[in-house]
Structure 1
Amino acid sequence: MDNKTSPKHSVHIVEEKSSIEPAQDLYNADIDTSDVDERKLIRKVDLRLVPWFSLLYLLSFLDRTSIGNAKLYNLEGDLKITDNQYLLSLTVFFISYAIFEVPSNIFLKRMRPAVWFSFLMTMWGIIMTLQGLANNFGSLVGLRWLLGTFEAGLYPGMAYHLSCWYKRSELGIRTALFTSATTLSGAFGGLLAAAISNMDGVGGKPAWAWIFILEGLATILAGIASFWVVVGFPEDATFLTEKERAFMIRRLQGDDQFSAAGEKLKMRNVVSSFRDWKTWFGMAQLLGCDMPLYAFSLFTPSIINQLGFSATPANLLTVPIYAFAAIVTCCVGLYADKYGRRGYCNIVMLTIGGIGYIILIVSRNAALSYFAVYVATCGIFPVVPNTVTWIANNFEGSYKRGVSLALGISMGNLNGAVSSNVYRARDRPWYPLGHGLVLMYICLGIIANSVFLHLLKKENSRRDRGERDEVIGPEGLEDNGNGRFATVEDAKLAKGDNWSGYRYML
C-alpha cells in the first residue's frame, strides 16, 4: 500500500556499495521487551492521554466560543457596544492565537508538558473569569487578546504530543476523539449557557457574566490538575515501566519515526519546516476548514435564533447538531486510520459540507436551513482532525513536525479572524454573505487537498523508482546528488521524511 514504508532502495545501495554496514540500532538493546502485551500497553496509554486531552480541549473551545452564547443574553446591550465592536472583540482573539502557536510548540518540547499545559490553562482560566467583570469595549477586547495568547499552545501542543506517542496509522482516531470535544463543547455550551442563564441577577451580575465566570473557574481547576495528570513523552513517561518505554519507542521507530527516542533542538530543524513545501500546503488545507469551523461555532446559536427561536431554545437546538458532528468525526477518523485514505476522506467530506452551505444560501425556510446545518457539519468537523493527522503523518523529526503542525494550525486559526466578521447583524436572518464566504473557503480546501494528494503520490512514485536513493558507504563513494551517508541509520536521522525509504501517507 502507498502508506507503508518500503526501504528496499536504500538497502540495495548498501549491499552494492558496502558490505560492512551494521544492523539497525535497537533502542536500549539490553532491555528484553518480549513479554510486553502491545494491546494492553496501548490501552494504558490511551486512558492516560485521550480522555484528559479531550476534557482540556472541550474547555478550551468552550471558553473561546462561549461569547457566542453570552451574546444572546444581552452582552452587547450591557457593555454598550455595537455589532462591529462585538465582531472586533472576536477578531483579536484569533490574531494573538495565531502569533503564539509556533513558539508554544517549541517551549512544549523543551519543557515538561505537564508544566506547560498547566501554566497555559490556569492563565487563560483567570482571563476567562475576568471577562465576566468586563464593563466596556476596551476591557473586553484586551481580555480577548490575552485569552488567545494563552490558549494558543493547547491544540497544536496536544496534536503534536499525541503524534509522539502513536503510529501514523493509529493517530487519526485519537486526534478525532479529542478534537470531537469541539462538537461536545458546542452541545455542552448550549446546555450550560441555558442553565447558567437562570443565575441572571445573582450577585448583581447578568447571565452573560456568569457564563464567563463559571466556565473560567472550571478551567482554572483543570489547569491545576493538569500538573499531575498530563504525562511526558515516551522516553521519560513515569507511568510506564522501563520495558514499556523501550517497547513504545521501538514500535515508533519501526513506523519511521526515527526521532522517537528524543531529539536535540537545532535551528536547522526549525528552519526545515519553513522550507518544506508540505508545510505550506498544510497551511492551505487548514485554512479551508478552520475558518468554517469557527464561523459555524461562533454563529450557529445566532443563526438559529434569527430563524425564529428565542435565546434558550436556540442554544438547545445546537445540541443535536454537535452530537451528530461528533459521531461523523469519529467514523471518519476510524476509516482513515484503517484504510490510510486521509486525503480522499477530506475531499469527500468537504464536498458534502459545500452542498450544505449551498442549501443554506438558497434556503428561505427555517426547517430546511436547520437540516442544511447538519449537512454542513460533515464538511467541517471531521476534516479538521483528519487534516491535522495527515500533516503529522508526513513529517519526521520531532521539532520539524511540531513546528509544521503549529504553522498549519496557526494559519487556520488566523482565518478565524475572518470568520468573526462575516456574519453581520444587517444580513440576518439568512446571512448570505457569511454562508457564501464559508463556501468559498471550503472550495479552497478541496483544491488544496486535491493538489497535496497529487504531489504526495507523485513523490512516492519517484521514491519507488529509486530517483531519491542516497549513496550509502565509505567516504570514497561519489555523492549522486541525494546525499552520501555511512549507514542507512545516518541517512534516516539526517534527512527525516526526505529519506528515500520514507513513504508519504495518502
Structure 2
Amino acid sequence: MALNEKEFDGVDSPVHDGRSSEKSSTFDQNVEEKYKHLPADAHPELTEKEIKALYRKLDWRMMPILALLYLGCLIDRGNIGNAAIEGLTQDLHLTGNRYNIALTLFFIPYALLEFPSNLVLKYFRPSRWIPFLTVLWGIIMTTMGLVKTYHQLVAVRACLGIAEAGLFPGIAYYLTFWYPRHELSFRVGIFFASASMAGAFSGLLAYGIHFMDGIQGLHAWQWIFILEGIATVAIGLLAALVLYDFPATASYLKPHERAYLVWRQKYAYSDQGEDEHFSWQYVKDALTDWQVYTHALLYMTIGGPLYGFSFFAPGVVKSFGFNTADTQLMTVPPYVFATIVLLFNTYWSDRTRLRSPFILFSLTLNIIGYSILLSNVKWSAHYVGIYFILAGGYSAFPIMISWASNNFAGHYKRCVSMALQIGLGNFGGAIFSNVYRTQDAPRYKLGYGIVFMFEWFGIIATIANVLLYRHINAKRAKLVAGDSEGAGVKLSGEETRRLGDKAPTFRYNL
C-alpha cells in the first residue's frame, strides 16, 4: 500500500536541522506523527526511479563531507609514518621501541572510548558532535608539530586517540539512519575509500612538504603535522555547516522524501519496526551477544594488521633504495590501487547482498601479499606485495562493518554493538604496532609472519560466522513455518521489536 505525497504536505521544512534544537525537535515530532502508524506494507508514494534519485541526492549531499572527515582522520593518524622518514625519529631520539610505544599509546584510548562516544552521538546531535571531534583532533594534530621530546609526542598521540575515537564508529552508525541495510556497504565503502586515499594524499603532501624543511626554523616533519592539522580544523568547521542530524530534519529533502526515509529505516530490520526508546537492556544484549565478539575478532585480524603495516610502509619502501622525496611518491600508487579494489568489492557486495565471500577474497589478497614479503625475492616483487596487502585490508574494512551493522537490529543495540566491535577490534592496532620491531628492519620477517598467521584466523572467523548464521536462519525458518515440533511461532509486534535480531522473523545476512 502506497500513500500519496499529499499525505505529507502538512510537514513543514525547517530552516536547518542544526541551527535550532527546538525547531529540529518539533519537526522531528511532526514527521513522527505522519509515519508512526504506517504498517510495514505502506509507504509514501515514490516510484523506483524516484527512490534511486533520492538516494543519489543523499549520496551527493552526505558522502563528500563524510569522506573528507575520514580522509583527515586517517591522514592525521598515519602521517607519523611519513614524518618518521623526514627526521622525526632522529630529532626526538626514538630509539629502541620508543616509536612503537608512540604508535601504541594512540590505540588504547581510541579503542576504549569508541563505545561511550557512540552513545553520546545517539543522545546528542550528530551535526555537532562529529564536527566537534574533528576540530578537536585537528588542533591536537597541529600541536604535534611543536613537540620537542619523546614524552611530549607520546602524550599528544594519546590525546589524538581520545579525540579520533568517536569518528569512525560514529559515521558508520550515522549512515544507518539514512540507508537501508543492503545498500550500506557501498556507502561505507565510499567514505572508507578516503582511508585508502589518505595514504596516497599523505605521500603526495609529504613530498611537497619535504621541500619546506628549514622554513621558519621548523623541520619538514613538523610542517607535516602543522599544515595537515590546520586543514583538518577547516574540514571540521565546514562539516558543522553542511551535516544534518536525521532524515526527519533534512530540509533539503521534500516532505514525502523525508517521510519515505523515516518509514524505510523504521522497517529496514524488522517488519514490526524498531524500538526507538533507550534501555540499558540493549547494552546488556550487546555485551552478551556472541556476534559482537566474532566480529571483533574479524575486525582485529583485518584492521590491526592494516594499521600496523600502514605506519611502517614508508620505511619499507625507503629500504628499496629510494631517497626520502622519491619514497613519499612511491607510497602513492599502492593506495590508489587499494581504493579501486575497495570500490569494486563494496559495489558487488551490495549488488549480491552478500558480505562473507568478499571478505574472504580480501583476506586472500592479504595472505598473498604477506607471503610475497616473507619470500626472498627482488625489491620489485616486494613492492607488488604491498599492493596486495593494502588492497586486501582496505577492501575488507567497509564490508566487515556493514556485515555487523546488517545483523544487529534495534537502533540502540546496533549503536552499542558496532562501537563494541570496533573498539575491541581496534586493540589490534595496539598489538600490531609492536610486531614490527626496530631490530627486524627493514625486512620485518617476524612481524610479517605473525600477521600472516592472524589473516588465517580472519578466514576461520568469517567461515564460523557464516555457518552459525546459516544454522540460525534455517532454525528460525522452521519455527516461523510451524515445522519445529509442529508449532509455529506467533509474536506480537511489540515482542518482535523487543527481540530485535533475536526475533524468529529476523534473518542474518551472509
Q: What TM-score results when the alignment is normalised by the length of structure 1?
A: 0.89
Is 1:137 aligned with 2:141?
no
Residue in structure 2 matched with residue 49 of structure 1 by the alignment: 62
Instruction: For 2:116 and 2:251, locate their aligned partners in 1 and report how far apart those are by CA, in whole Å.
Output: 26
Q: Give the CA deviation at 1:493.
A: 1.3
- Percent of residue pairs identical: 38
Residue in structure 1 matched with residue 227 of structure 2 by the alignment: 214
Q: Give the CA deviation at 1:258.
A: 6.5
Do 1:121 and 1:220's aligned partners in 2 also have CA atoms closer than 8 Å?
A: yes
| Residues 97-147 of structure 1 deviation map (CA, whole Å, 9 limit, x = unaligned) | 001000000000111101101111111111000000000011101100000
| Residue type at the aligned position of 2:262 | I
| Residue type at the aligned position of 1:345 | F
Q: Give the CA deviation at 1:468.
A: 9.4
Instruction: For 2:192 and 2:239, locate their aligned partners in 1 and report how far apart those are by CA, in whole Å.
Output: 18
| Residue type at the aligned position of 1:394 | N
Is 1:492 aligned with 2:496?
yes
Structure 1 stretch 405-414 or stretch 109-118: which is displaced more?
A: 405-414
Structure 1 stretch 374-383 or stretch 171-180: which is displaced more?
A: 374-383
Q: Give the CA deviation at 1:238.
A: 3.1
Residue in structure 2 matched with residue 504 of structure 1 by the alignment: 508
* Alpha-carbon spacing, 1:469–1:104, altered in 2? closer, same or farther (3 Å): farther
Residue in structure 1 matched with residue 339 of structure 2 by the alignment: 326
| Residue type at the aligned position of 1:113 | P
| Residue type at the aligned position of 2:499 | K
* Alpha-carbon spacing, 1:189–1:405, altered in 2? closer, same or farther (3 Å): same
SS at match of 2:245: coil
SS at match of 1:199: coil
Is 1:460 aligned with 2:468?
no
* Alpha-carbon spacing, 1:208–1:469, altered in 2? closer, same or farther (3 Å): farther
* Alpha-carbon spacing, 1:236–1:259, altered in 2? closer, same or farther (3 Å): farther
Q: Give the CA deviation at 1:230.
A: 1.4
Instruction: For 2:240 and 2:361, locate their aligned partners in 1 and report how far apart those are by CA, in whole Å.
Output: 40
Instruction: For 1:235 and 1:504, locate their aligned partners in 2 and report how far apart those are by CA, in whole Å.
Output: 28
Is 1:223 aligned with 2:227?
no
SS at match of 1:429: coil
| Residue type at the aligned position of 1:116 | W
Structure 1 stretch 240-249 or stretch 125-134: which is displaced more?
A: 240-249
* Alpha-carbon spacing, 1:468–1:301, altered in 2? closer, same or farther (3 Å): farther
Q: Give the CA deviation at 1:30.
A: 11
Alignment of 1:239-254 (within 5 A): 239-254=252-267
Residue in structure 2 matched with residue 108 of structure 1 by the alignment: 121
Q: 1:26 aligns with which of 38, 41, 47?
A: 38
Instruction: For 1:360 and 1:53, locate their aligned partners in 2 and report how far apart those are by CA, in whole Å.
Output: 34
Alignment of 1:440-459 (within 5 A): 440-459=453-472
| Residue type at the aligned position of 1:286 | Y
| Residue type at the aligned position of 1:385 | P
Do 2:275 and 2:497's aligned partners in 1 also have CA atoms closer than 8 Å?
A: no
SS at match of 1:415: helix
Q: 2:304 aligns with which of 282, 291, 315?
A: 291
Is 1:199 aligned with 2:212?
yes
Instruction: For 2:277 and 2:126, locate their aligned partners in 1 and report how far apart those are by CA, in whole Å.
Output: 16
Alignment of 1:252-331 (within 5 A): 252-256=265-269, 263-331=276-344
Residue in structure 2 matched with residue 371 of structure 1 by the alignment: 384
Alignment of 1:75-154 (within 5 A): 75-154=88-167
* Alpha-carbon spacing, 1:37–1:432, altered in 2? closer, same or farther (3 Å): same
Instruction: For 2:321 and 2:42, locate their aligned partners in 1 and report how far apart those are by CA, in whole Å.
Output: 69
Q: Give the CA deviation at 1:304.
A: 0.6
| Residues 21-58 of structure 1 deviation map (CA, whole Å, 9 limit, x = unaligned) | xxx94179999545792122111111122111111001
* Alpha-carbon spacing, 1:454–1:261, altered in 2? closer, same or farther (3 Å): closer
| Residues 292-349 of structure 1 deviation map (CA, whole Å, 9 limit, x = unaligned) | 1102211111101112112221121111100100010111101111112211211122
SS at match of 1:265: coil
Structure 1 stretch 397-406 or stretch 232-241: which is displaced more?
A: 232-241
Structure 1 stretch 311-320 or stretch 143-152: which is displaced more?
A: 311-320
SS at match of 1:422: coil
* Alpha-carbon spacing, 1:463–1:257, altered in 2? closer, same or farther (3 Å): closer
Q: What TM-score results when the alignment is normalised by the length of structure 2?
A: 0.88
Structure 1 stretch 79-88 or stretch 170-179: which is displaced more?
A: 79-88
Alignment of 1:354-503 (within 5 A): 354-466=367-479, 485=491, 487=492, 489-503=493-507
Is 1:167 aligned with 2:180?
yes
| Residue type at the aligned position of 2:380 | A
| Residue type at the aligned position of 1:412 | G
* Alpha-carbon spacing, 1:140–1:56, altered in 2? closer, same or farther (3 Å): same
Do 1:193 and 1:211's aligned partners in 2 also have CA atoms closer than 8 Å?
A: yes
Structure 1 stretch 150-159 or stretch 360-369: which is displaced more?
A: 360-369
Do 2:407 and 2:508's aligned partners in 1 also have CA atoms closer than 8 Å?
A: yes
Residue in structure 2 matched with residue 343 of structure 1 by the alignment: 356
Instruction: For 1:462 and 1:265, locate their aligned partners in 2 and report how far apart those are by CA, in whole Å.
Output: 29
Unaligned runs of 5+ in 2: 1-35
* Alpha-carbon spacing, 1:259–1:356, altered in 2? closer, same or farther (3 Å): farther
Instruction: For 2:55 and 2:482, locate their aligned partners in 1 and report how far apart those are by CA, in whole Å.
Output: 34
| Residue type at the aligned position of 2:374 | I
Instruction: For 1:500 and 1:424, locate their aligned partners in 2 and report how far apart those are by CA, in whole Å.
Output: 50
Instruction: For 2:300 and 2:94, locate their aligned partners in 1 and report how far apart those are by CA, in whole Å.
Output: 30
Instruction: For 1:136 and 1:435, locate their aligned partners in 2 and report how far apart those are by CA, in whole Å.
Output: 30
Do 2:113 and 2:166's aligned partners in 1 also have CA atoms closer than 8 Å?
A: yes
Structure 1 stretch 140-149 or stretch 233-242: which is displaced more?
A: 233-242
